[in-house]
Amino acid sequence: MGGRLAGKVAVVTGAGSVGDGWGNGRATAVVFAREGARVLAVDRDPAPLQATLDLIADEGGTAAGHTCDVTESAAVAGMIGAAVDAFGGLDVLVNNVGGSRNGGPTELDEAGWRAQLDLNLTSVYLGSRHAIPAMRARGGGAIVNVASTSGLRFTGSPQVGYAAAKAGVIQLSRVTAVQHAPERIRVNTVVPGQLHTPMVEARLAHQRAGGDVPALLAQRQARIPLGFTGDGRDTAYAALFLASDEARFVTGTEIVVDGGMTARCD
Protein backbone atom coordinates (compact mmCIF):
# COMPACT_ATOMS: atom_id res chain seq x y z
CA MET A 1 0.00 0.00 0.00
CA GLY A 2 1.31 3.43 -0.96
CA GLY A 3 0.71 6.66 0.86
CA ARG A 4 2.36 9.36 2.91
CA LEU A 5 3.47 6.87 5.58
CA ALA A 6 4.34 3.97 3.30
CA GLY A 7 6.94 1.69 4.87
CA LYS A 8 6.65 3.22 8.33
CA VAL A 9 5.72 1.51 11.58
CA ALA A 10 3.51 3.57 13.88
CA VAL A 11 2.21 3.11 17.42
CA VAL A 12 -0.99 4.99 18.23
CA THR A 13 -2.15 5.00 21.84
CA GLY A 14 -5.76 5.52 22.87
CA ALA A 15 -6.79 4.01 19.54
CA GLY A 16 -10.14 2.79 20.76
CA SER A 17 -13.02 5.14 21.42
CA VAL A 18 -15.45 5.73 24.27
CA GLY A 19 -18.34 5.61 21.78
CA ASP A 20 -19.24 5.60 18.11
CA GLY A 21 -17.63 8.22 15.94
CA TRP A 22 -14.18 9.67 15.38
CA GLY A 23 -12.16 10.04 18.53
CA ASN A 24 -8.62 11.34 18.10
CA GLY A 25 -6.94 7.95 18.53
CA ARG A 26 -9.30 5.93 16.35
CA ALA A 27 -9.15 8.51 13.58
CA THR A 28 -5.35 8.66 13.74
CA ALA A 29 -4.94 4.89 13.59
CA VAL A 30 -7.31 4.62 10.61
CA VAL A 31 -5.77 7.55 8.72
CA PHE A 32 -2.23 6.29 9.32
CA ALA A 33 -3.12 2.81 8.04
CA ARG A 34 -4.89 4.36 5.08
CA GLU A 35 -1.66 6.22 4.29
CA GLY A 36 0.41 3.03 4.27
CA ALA A 37 1.70 2.71 7.84
CA ARG A 38 1.76 -0.59 9.67
CA VAL A 39 -0.02 0.38 12.86
CA LEU A 40 0.13 -1.01 16.36
CA ALA A 41 -3.17 0.30 17.70
CA VAL A 42 -3.14 0.47 21.50
CA ASP A 43 -5.89 0.85 24.08
CA ARG A 44 -6.59 -0.41 27.58
CA ASP A 45 -10.09 -1.57 26.57
CA PRO A 46 -10.10 -4.42 24.02
CA ALA A 47 -13.66 -3.94 22.72
CA PRO A 48 -13.34 -0.43 21.21
CA LEU A 49 -9.83 -1.31 20.11
CA GLN A 50 -11.21 -4.21 18.07
CA ALA A 51 -13.71 -1.86 16.44
CA THR A 52 -10.81 0.30 15.27
CA LEU A 53 -8.93 -2.73 13.96
CA ASP A 54 -12.06 -3.79 12.05
CA LEU A 55 -12.27 -0.38 10.37
CA ILE A 56 -8.64 -0.67 9.27
CA ALA A 57 -9.11 -4.22 8.01
CA ASP A 58 -12.20 -3.20 6.03
CA GLU A 59 -10.04 -0.68 4.15
CA GLY A 60 -7.27 -3.20 3.50
CA GLY A 61 -4.81 -1.63 5.92
CA THR A 62 -2.28 -3.36 8.16
CA ALA A 63 -2.68 -3.17 11.93
CA ALA A 64 -2.26 -5.19 15.08
CA GLY A 65 -3.88 -4.54 18.42
CA HIS A 66 -2.24 -4.27 21.82
CA THR A 67 -3.83 -3.66 25.21
CA CYS A 68 -1.83 -1.52 27.59
CA ASP A 69 -2.05 0.85 30.55
CA VAL A 70 0.18 3.67 29.35
CA THR A 71 0.70 4.99 32.88
CA GLU A 72 2.77 1.88 33.75
CA SER A 73 6.40 1.88 32.61
CA ALA A 74 6.75 -1.88 32.16
CA ALA A 75 3.55 -1.99 30.14
CA VAL A 76 4.73 0.83 27.87
CA ALA A 77 8.07 -0.91 27.34
CA GLY A 78 6.09 -3.99 26.35
CA MET A 79 4.03 -1.93 23.93
CA ILE A 80 7.12 -0.69 22.10
CA GLY A 81 8.54 -4.20 22.11
CA ALA A 82 5.31 -5.50 20.59
CA ALA A 83 5.61 -3.05 17.69
CA VAL A 84 9.20 -4.04 17.05
CA ASP A 85 8.33 -7.74 17.23
CA ALA A 86 5.31 -7.40 14.96
CA PHE A 87 6.70 -5.06 12.33
CA GLY A 88 10.49 -4.99 12.72
CA GLY A 89 11.01 -1.54 14.21
CA LEU A 90 9.41 1.76 15.13
CA ASP A 91 9.24 4.99 13.15
CA VAL A 92 6.31 6.92 14.63
CA LEU A 93 4.72 7.19 18.06
CA VAL A 94 1.49 9.09 18.70
CA ASN A 95 0.95 9.69 22.42
CA ASN A 96 -2.78 10.31 22.40
CA VAL A 97 -4.13 9.07 25.74
CA GLY A 98 -5.80 11.67 27.96
CA GLY A 99 -8.91 12.78 29.72
CA SER A 100 -10.10 15.64 31.94
CA ARG A 101 -11.54 16.03 35.41
CA ASN A 102 -13.20 19.18 36.64
CA GLY A 103 -11.98 21.23 39.54
CA GLY A 104 -9.52 23.87 40.62
CA PRO A 105 -7.01 23.38 43.46
CA THR A 106 -9.69 23.41 46.15
CA GLU A 107 -12.13 21.07 44.37
CA LEU A 108 -9.78 18.52 42.79
CA ASP A 109 -8.38 16.36 45.56
CA GLU A 110 -4.76 15.28 45.71
CA ALA A 111 -5.46 11.80 44.39
CA GLY A 112 -7.34 13.30 41.46
CA TRP A 113 -4.46 15.69 40.78
CA ARG A 114 -1.94 12.85 40.66
CA ALA A 115 -4.23 10.76 38.47
CA GLN A 116 -4.58 13.63 35.99
CA LEU A 117 -0.82 14.08 35.76
CA ASP A 118 -0.28 10.34 35.30
CA LEU A 119 -2.91 9.97 32.58
CA ASN A 120 -2.15 13.10 30.61
CA LEU A 121 1.57 13.77 31.15
CA THR A 122 3.38 10.77 32.62
CA SER A 123 1.94 8.64 29.80
CA VAL A 124 3.67 10.92 27.28
CA TYR A 125 6.95 10.80 29.20
CA LEU A 126 6.84 6.99 29.35
CA GLY A 127 5.96 6.64 25.68
CA SER A 128 8.85 8.89 24.71
CA ARG A 129 11.24 7.22 27.13
CA HIS A 130 10.68 3.76 25.69
CA ALA A 131 10.20 4.75 22.03
CA ILE A 132 13.36 6.82 21.58
CA PRO A 133 15.81 3.88 21.78
CA ALA A 134 13.78 1.99 19.15
CA MET A 135 13.77 5.05 16.89
CA ARG A 136 17.47 5.58 17.47
CA ALA A 137 18.03 2.05 16.16
CA ARG A 138 16.18 3.02 12.94
CA GLY A 139 18.23 6.20 12.46
CA GLY A 140 15.39 8.53 13.42
CA GLY A 141 11.67 8.84 13.88
CA ALA A 142 8.78 11.08 14.76
CA ILE A 143 6.90 11.47 18.04
CA VAL A 144 3.57 13.27 17.90
CA ASN A 145 2.07 14.20 21.25
CA VAL A 146 -1.56 15.23 21.64
CA ALA A 147 -2.15 18.11 24.04
CA SER A 148 -5.18 20.42 24.32
CA THR A 149 -6.03 24.08 24.02
CA SER A 150 -6.66 23.82 27.78
CA GLY A 151 -2.86 23.80 28.02
CA LEU A 152 -2.75 27.21 26.32
CA ARG A 153 -5.63 29.15 27.85
CA PHE A 154 -8.74 28.89 30.02
CA THR A 155 -11.37 27.18 27.87
CA GLY A 156 -14.46 27.58 30.01
CA SER A 157 -14.09 24.98 32.74
CA PRO A 158 -11.80 24.92 35.80
CA GLN A 159 -9.82 21.72 35.24
CA VAL A 160 -6.49 22.56 36.78
CA GLY A 161 -4.98 19.09 36.65
CA TYR A 162 -5.80 18.57 32.98
CA ALA A 163 -4.71 22.07 31.99
CA ALA A 164 -1.40 21.82 33.83
CA ALA A 165 -0.67 18.39 32.39
CA LYS A 166 -1.44 19.43 28.83
CA ALA A 167 0.74 22.52 29.17
CA GLY A 168 3.44 20.14 30.38
CA VAL A 169 3.01 17.98 27.28
CA ILE A 170 3.81 20.96 25.08
CA GLN A 171 6.99 21.81 26.94
CA LEU A 172 8.05 18.17 27.29
CA SER A 173 7.76 17.93 23.51
CA ARG A 174 9.88 21.03 22.91
CA VAL A 175 12.67 19.97 25.25
CA THR A 176 12.73 16.41 23.90
CA ALA A 177 12.76 17.71 20.34
CA VAL A 178 15.85 19.83 20.90
CA GLN A 179 17.70 17.10 22.78
CA HIS A 180 17.12 14.43 20.15
CA ALA A 181 17.25 16.51 16.98
CA PRO A 182 20.85 15.38 16.26
CA GLU A 183 19.52 11.83 16.13
CA ARG A 184 16.85 12.82 13.57
CA ILE A 185 14.09 12.13 16.07
CA ARG A 186 11.47 14.83 15.63
CA VAL A 187 8.98 15.67 18.39
CA ASN A 188 5.92 17.86 17.86
CA THR A 189 2.53 18.44 19.41
CA VAL A 190 -1.00 18.57 18.04
CA VAL A 191 -3.17 20.87 20.16
CA PRO A 192 -6.86 20.10 19.55
CA GLY A 193 -9.56 22.50 20.58
CA GLN A 194 -13.17 21.76 21.44
CA LEU A 195 -13.89 18.97 19.00
CA HIS A 196 -17.03 16.86 18.78
CA THR A 197 -15.58 13.48 19.65
CA PRO A 198 -17.44 10.62 21.38
CA MET A 199 -16.06 11.95 24.66
CA VAL A 200 -18.68 14.72 24.52
CA GLU A 201 -21.58 12.30 24.90
CA ALA A 202 -19.75 9.80 27.09
CA ARG A 203 -18.31 12.15 29.68
CA LEU A 204 -18.18 15.90 29.11
CA ALA A 205 -21.92 16.60 28.83
CA HIS A 206 -22.45 15.02 32.24
CA GLN A 207 -19.58 16.97 33.76
CA ARG A 208 -20.50 20.37 32.39
CA ALA A 209 -24.09 20.52 31.09
CA GLY A 210 -26.13 18.20 33.30
CA GLY A 211 -26.17 15.61 30.52
CA ASP A 212 -27.56 18.05 27.92
CA VAL A 213 -25.45 17.20 24.87
CA PRO A 214 -27.01 19.77 22.46
CA ALA A 215 -26.49 22.52 25.03
CA LEU A 216 -22.84 21.66 25.48
CA LEU A 217 -22.25 21.40 21.72
CA ALA A 218 -23.86 24.81 21.17
CA GLN A 219 -21.78 26.33 23.96
CA ARG A 220 -18.57 24.94 22.50
CA GLN A 221 -19.39 25.88 18.91
CA ALA A 222 -20.12 29.48 19.93
CA ARG A 223 -16.43 29.86 20.84
CA ILE A 224 -15.19 28.80 17.39
CA PRO A 225 -14.65 31.55 14.77
CA LEU A 226 -15.00 29.10 11.87
CA GLY A 227 -18.54 28.42 13.04
CA PHE A 228 -18.47 24.63 13.08
CA THR A 229 -17.02 21.94 15.29
CA GLY A 230 -14.30 19.59 14.09
CA ASP A 231 -13.77 15.99 15.15
CA GLY A 232 -10.98 13.48 15.63
CA ARG A 233 -10.20 13.38 11.92
CA ASP A 234 -8.93 16.95 12.13
CA THR A 235 -6.48 15.90 14.83
CA ALA A 236 -5.51 12.86 12.75
CA TYR A 237 -4.62 14.84 9.63
CA ALA A 238 -2.45 17.24 11.63
CA ALA A 239 -0.69 14.23 13.18
CA LEU A 240 -0.30 12.71 9.72
CA PHE A 241 1.64 15.73 8.47
CA LEU A 242 3.89 15.77 11.53
CA ALA A 243 4.56 12.03 11.27
CA SER A 244 5.34 12.13 7.55
CA ASP A 245 8.54 13.00 5.74
CA GLU A 246 6.79 16.16 4.53
CA ALA A 247 7.55 17.51 8.02
CA ARG A 248 11.24 16.58 7.88
CA PHE A 249 12.25 20.14 8.92
CA VAL A 250 9.55 20.54 11.59
CA THR A 251 10.37 19.78 15.20
CA GLY A 252 9.77 21.30 18.62
CA THR A 253 6.56 23.05 17.66
CA GLU A 254 2.78 22.78 17.74
CA ILE A 255 -0.15 22.66 15.34
CA VAL A 256 -3.28 24.10 16.96
CA VAL A 257 -6.46 22.48 15.61
CA ASP A 258 -9.27 24.58 17.05
CA GLY A 259 -11.09 26.53 14.34
CA GLY A 260 -9.46 29.74 15.53
CA MET A 261 -10.69 29.54 19.13
CA THR A 262 -7.44 30.33 20.91
CA ALA A 263 -6.80 33.29 18.60
CA ARG A 264 -9.86 35.05 20.06
CA CYS A 265 -9.53 37.33 23.06
CA ASP A 266 -13.01 36.59 24.47
* Residues carrying an active site annotation: 162
Buried/exposed 65-83: b ≥16 CB within 10 Å, e otherwise = bbebebbeeebbbebbebb
- Contact (CB, 8 A) for 127 and 95: yes
Question: Which one, of 117, 20, 1, 15, lies nearest residue 59 by Cα?
Answer: 1
| Beta-carbon contacts of residue 213 (< 8 Å; ≥ 6 apart) | 200, 201, 205
Residue 240 region by backbone torsions, left for phi larger than 0, else alpha for psi between -120 and 50, else beta: alpha
CA angle 261, 95, 4 (to 5 degrees): 85
- Contact (CB, 8 A) for 145 and 190: yes
Q: Give the C-alpha separation, 169 to 124, whole Å.
A: 7
Strand, helix or coil for residue 18: coil
CA 169 to chain centre: 11
Q: Give the C-alpha separation, 193 to 155, whole Å.
A: 9
Size of the chain, expressed as the number of residues it contains: 266
Q: What is the CA radius of gyration of the chain?
A: 17
